[in-house]
Amino acid sequence: MNKEELKARRANETPEQGVVNFLEHMKDIATSDKSKKMREMVKEELEHIPDWPEPQNELRMIYWTRRMHSLGKKAKSEQTAKEVLEECISDSKTKYPDFQFLYDESFFNECG
């Protein structure tokens, strides 16, 4: 929506509609702020999981997706970073049964 359209909408809205629109806008900002914080947190966690060789990189991709879901508003249950990582390793073992996955154990132990 460009500035002119926004001005026209605001000129025609009631004070109550203005409050509702403002609250919706603030909710959108809060949601995007939370998403940004989640991404930053998961990026920091990924620094503790090596990205090479290829099975490690796949583990990181799986971890990113699952960890973001575990932190999101639609998460079915609260999981720690370590719990998510352990699930990801367990699932990755089906494809790479003999591979020894590496990660910073002390970091993830502190995460819970």
pLDDT band, very low/low/confident/very high, at 3 (cuts 50, 70, 90): low
User: Residue 90 pLDDT > 60, yes or no?
Assistant: yes
Position 47 scores a pLDDT of 96
pLDDT over threshold 60, residue 83: yes
> pTM of the entire structure?
0.71
Residue 53: is the preceding peptide bond cis (ω within 30°)? yes
Write out the H or E segment, with its range, that includes residue 87: helix 81-95
pLDDT tens readout for residues 13-56: 677 776 666 666 556 555 677 888 899 999 999 999 999 999 99
